[in-house]
A and B are shown apart, each in its own frame.
Chain A
Amino acid sequence: MHRLRPAVFLTAAAILLLAAADERGHAAAPAIDPAVPAGKPLSERVVAYQIDARLDTRKKTIDAVEVLTYRNLTGQPQDTFPFHLYLNAFQPKSTAAREFQRDDPRFEWKAKYYAAAEVTSFEAVGMGDLTSQMRFLAPDDGNDDDRTVFQIKLPRPVAPGESVPFRIAFHDQLGEVLARTGYKRNFIMAAQWFPKIGVWWQGAWNCHQFHANTEFFADFGTFDVRLTLPQDEIVGASGEEISSVNHADGTKTVSFHGEDIHDFAWTAEPEFRVFTDYFTGSAGMVKIRLLTQSGHVAMAERNIRILKQTMKRFDQWYGPYPYPQITLVDPPHGALEAGGMEYPTLITGGTTWWMPRGWRLLEQVVAHEFGHQYWYGMVATNEFEDAWLDEGINNYVEMKIMDDIFGKDRSDIDLWGLRNSERGEQRRGYLRDADRDPIARFGYQYMDSRSYGDISYYKTATMLLTLEKVIGEDTLRRALRTYFTRFRFTHPGKEDFLKTVEEVSGRNLRWYFDQAVYGAQVLDYEILRAGSQPADWFVKDAPAEKKDGTFYRTSVLVHRKGDFVFPVEVLMKFDNGEEIRERWDGRDRWVRYSYDKKARLISAEIDPEHAVWLDKDFYNNSYTVAPARGARRKLSAYWLACTQFLAQCLAWLV
């Protein structure tokens, strides 16, 4: 059991409080409650799970008994309780399977993917056996074949403030890893493996089916999990290991305890190589436990280094990581679908035996998945309905961290002369599906999987990057810190985040959020025409033009090509060295700027600082009067050489 050291937490909170008292004239962020008295839980613990599970490594099954104590904090009597049985998603008629196939017609169902969670008995302690009362629901799409949500109606309601223990015996059949959970050879990743109660949220039960594109949502509480499995298995799990007891039959029982978390995942493999390190943050020392593959031992240092670098920045920028441990799991080859995933206090990375240092995929994944400990783990948003609140915010923060560590222009790739930035990569993803879905759409209602990823991850990150232009990078960081400290260990919604940003910035940002978050408008401004003509153009036989001698009339026409209205700056440069910067509110469809001076226009550029990352086309943001053909010549030369090479290779057939 670990508690935050109050003195350390007070100091950290004081620093946060001072930082929140803005010196720049914006409205000060509301005071953050600094102290968590010793012994007080970090969250409102709605659930307490006690699970005794036995793993059969040969059959890939788990037999378990779960005692779930649910505290009715809904404020109303409750007699109906929904539960998730996520493992049943891995069946051919499930909603998730339908969606996999819908989004990728090449998707082929194989028997090895089959998984199931079967509740063999369900009892509400004190109310008898209710197994026969289980009813499967399909609240999202009405698919009667989907078995990922069931509901129980109790014979009598649970009064507000009372608790009800459910005793659930269940049998899991794991399938080969298809998405996040399952096995591969000797590797086990047990995620979403136990019956999990839904969340009473915003006045109603929130318990969605398992979808191809969405993740999870659950209440905070405690987990006490005892896993019985062969002694040669190396185990990693959420929370902390409390004890490990060997038995005469060759098995062992490993006990884990986690507090103020809302999910519990675990992994086991005899071949894991274990590395331990420590990070000291503002909340004290955190144990880092890396479980990696023998062929990836060379990457262990990279994994731990990026994890510590990320933890340090999160601690400084947003707040402390309050848990005693973080476990990082590196899945084996063939099981990378279990990688790149987050669970409270356990994350999965993923690498291959060959990953050169300039290819930063390993670092990106670890930084991203650790970030989820904050956006999802502690700020526990509804990943079904507000996927962008964790994935998108996390993508933005991951980008800032990678930029801070590696440099803005090479935070994605820096290999063999090739460089790319994370922000460029995020924007590329957004551009692919810029006009498909609004960010605020429910995750399982996006057009398809690609749109879900491009919009909730990449567009959100690009949207926040553009928001820096509106309110400033420092203000946005303060807003995120306020959002984190205010809403950690709760279930905020989208308006909680948006209002926090407005509050911290002291600005009304509805005009921006209505378009960028709730709408699918596309932002695109262009220089439609620009140039200078002699003022006496109508005079026949006019004197020859003279630099600094001839009067020119310059005209710059700026056009709003997209339907997203955004104020823009336009920078005009003249050949006498003069620069003129205009600011346009961007509301009308076009605006014309005219100048009479003894100078010719050289160039006109919208957003000269390149801060409006949501702009769909950076190429039409500027116009140079004189053509600059360097880029064209370069690319054409490369294309020419490639065509020659292709022709010569084809001629090898002769």
Chain B
Amino acid sequence: MAHQTGTLSEGARRVWRHQRVLWWLFAVNLALAAFGTQPVDRAIGRVADHSLYAQRLYQGFDLSAFSELAANPEVALWSKVSSSLLFAVVFLGVALFLTGGILETYRSDRKLATGEFFFACGTFFWRWVRLLVLLLVAIVPIAMLGSVITGWAAVLSDAAPQEKLGFWVEVAGLLLVTVLMMAVRLWFDMAQVRVVAEEERSVVRALVRAFRLTRDHFGSLFWMYIRISFLAWLGLAAALFLWIRVPAQRLGFSFFVLEMALLWWMGTRLWQRASETVWYERHSAAPQMMTPLPAPETFLSSVTAASPESGM
């Protein structure tokens, strides 16, 4: 238990010490979202900038005024979701690319040079792509289970004599699916940690060994993971609690609270990655790669013929 406590603290320390990872990732997230928001911003401006009626959205939040604005053909708010979704997918790609560098930073626990960082990103990128595909495959049965439970809950809500039965089945199902998803995410996280730590080229082998590791130490790993998740949700809830109490016209402060909530949300995810890396260092029986990846120029110069990566 002392070790686990130490694991979380050490993970937090590494995130703090290498906080520029968080800030850069957050900046990319903010920048991409800002791009994704441009169509909405322009559309709203066309209708609202010179309208007195729009004051009902600024001085308070009139739901009817918002509904009318969203439905206005010149705004067509909901049709802009695809633009935001596009930039969210781009961020997914960026995160996929940067994960290698992030994990290497936490594993080596030292400040990587820019070249080293991006070299690590590039080294592991295609392994992450393959892992992502496998993750989606692994999620499918969980999604199907969720769908079955939801359908069953709907039938119970209609037909069962106890009115709340359907609701509780839905809640239990949601909890079950959440736990399963978290368990799968933890498994894949550990696979990624192992790939970086052991320079593992085969993602399948990494997954198998990570599965065994996660299975054998599920209690401590999951407990570590879920505590951070809980703090993430708690922080988000606290921020929202504060946010709905910010006076309507305090736009700056309102935006600041939202951004802090998002920063916290992202930070806790990095905290999970760092803690998993620390845990692996302390519990893995396999010898650790204590030396960092060589700098790109050294590596390239020492290799006369690059061998292609082995596949799955």
Contact = CB atoms under 8 A, between A and B. Distances in A.
A542 interface: no
A605 B55 CA distance: 13
A631 B87 contact: no
B37 A639 contact: yes
A405 interface: no
A424 B163 contact: no
Contact of B84 (A418, A620, A639, A653): A639
Given A333-B158, A636-B44, A639-B37, A647 B91 contact: yes
Given A416-B244, A650-B89, A650-B91, A643 B64 contact: no
Contacts of A413: 63
Nearest to B70: A635
A644 B29 contact: yes
A636 B244 CA distance: 17
A293 B164 CA distance: 13
Contacts of A631: 44, 48, 54-55, 57-58
Interface in B64-90: 64-69, 71-72, 80, 84-85, 87-89
Nearest to B131: A654
A628 B68 CA distance: 18
A262 interface: no
A: contact size bracket: 35 or more
Contacts of B96: 654
Nearest to B56: A631
Interface in A382-422: 413, 416-421
B157 A333 contact: yes
B72 A619 contact: yes
Given A424-B64, A631-B58, A654 B92 contact: yes
Contacts, number: 184
A177 to B, nearest CB: 11
Interface stretch (B169-177, B250-258, B292-300, B302-310): B250-258
A648 B29 contact: yes
B190 to A, nearest CB: 14
A290 B136 CA distance: 53
Given A431-B68, A643-B36, A648-B269, A418 B63 contact: yes
Contacts of A643: 32-33, 36-37, 84, 87-88
Given A635-B57, A636-B44, A421 B64 contact: yes
Contacts of A632: 41, 44-45, 48-49, 54
B228 interface: no
A234 B305 CA distance: 89
Given A605-B52, A631-B55, A634-B58, A419 B29 contact: no
A621 interface: yes
Nearest to A332: B163
Given A643-B88, A650-B89, A651-B95, A634 B71 contact: no
B136 A637 contact: no
Interface in A576-616: 603, 605
Of A413, A605, A640, A646, most buried by chain B (CB within 10 Å of CB) is A640
Interface residues of B, number: 68
Contact of A630 (B47, B58, B159, B167): B58
A635 B163 CA distance: 39
B147 to A, nearest CB: 18
B62 interface: yes
Given A333-B158, A629-B49, A634-B58, A425 B251 contact: no
Interface in B231-279: 244, 249, 251, 254-255, 258-259, 262, 265-266, 269
Interface in B25-48: 29-30, 32-34, 36-37, 40-41, 44-45, 47-48
A650 to B, nearest CB: 5
B52 A624 contact: yes
Given A416-B244, A640-B33, A642-B84, A653 B52 contact: no
A275 interface: no
Nearest to A638: B258
B135 interface: yes
A619 B29 contact: no
A417 B262 CA distance: 21
Given A428-B68, A629-B49, A653 B136 contact: yes
B44 to A, nearest CB: 5
Interface string B164-189: 10010000000000000000010000
A431 B135 CA distance: 45
Contact of B53 (A333, A621, A646, A647): A621
A417 B44 contact: no
Contacts of A639: 37, 40-41, 80, 84
Contact of A428 (B55, B67, B163): B67
Nearest to A333: B163
Interface string A65-100: 000000000000000000000000000000000000
B53 A185 contact: no
Contact of B49 (A417, A420, A628, A647): A628
A647 B52 contact: no
A476 to B, nearest CB: 22
A567 B227 CA distance: 64
A641 B36 contact: no
B40 A635 contact: yes
B79 to A, nearest CB: 13
A427 interface: yes
B92 A651 contact: yes
A633 interface: yes
Nearest to A649: B88
A142 B47 CA distance: 49
Residues of A contacting B: mostly: helix
B68 A622 contact: no
A295 interface: yes
Interface in A543-571: none
A653 B50 contact: no
Contacts of B143: none
A524 B231 CA distance: 51
B128 interface: yes
A617 interface: yes
A620 B51 contact: yes
A640 B32 CA distance: 9
B64 A651 contact: no
Contacts of A428: 64, 67-68
A654 B273 CA distance: 11
A352 B52 CA distance: 39
Interface in A410-455: 413, 416-421, 424-425, 427-428, 431-432
Contacts of A427: 64
Contacts of A629: 45, 49
A622 B51 contact: yes
Contacts of A618: 53, 65, 68
Interface string B141-170: 000000000000000011101011001000
Contact of A622 (B52, B61, B85): B52
Contact of A647 (B33, B47, B161): B33
Contact of A641 (B32, B51, B185, B262): B262
Contacts of A654: 92, 95-96, 99, 128, 132
A203 interface: no
Contacts of A625: 50
Of A431, A642, A647, most buried by chain B (CB within 10 Å of CB) is A647
B37 to A, nearest CB: 5
Contacts of A333: 157-158, 163
Given A421-B64, A624-B50, A646-B84, 13 more contacts: A617-B68, A618-B53, A619-B48, A619-B54, A628-B55, A635-B66, A636-B37, A637-B255, A638-B258, A639-B84, A647-B29, A647-B91, A648-B269
22 contacts: A333-B157, A334-B158, A418-B63, A419-B62, A421-B64, A424-B65, A617-B72, A620-B47, A629-B45, A629-B49, A632-B41, A632-B48, A635-B44, A635-B48, A636-B44, A639-B84, A644-B29, A644-B33, A647-B88, A650-B89, A652-B185, A654-B128
Instruction: Name the 5 nearest CB pairs between A and B, nearest first.
Output: A424-B64, A630-B58, A647-B91, A631-B54, A622-B52
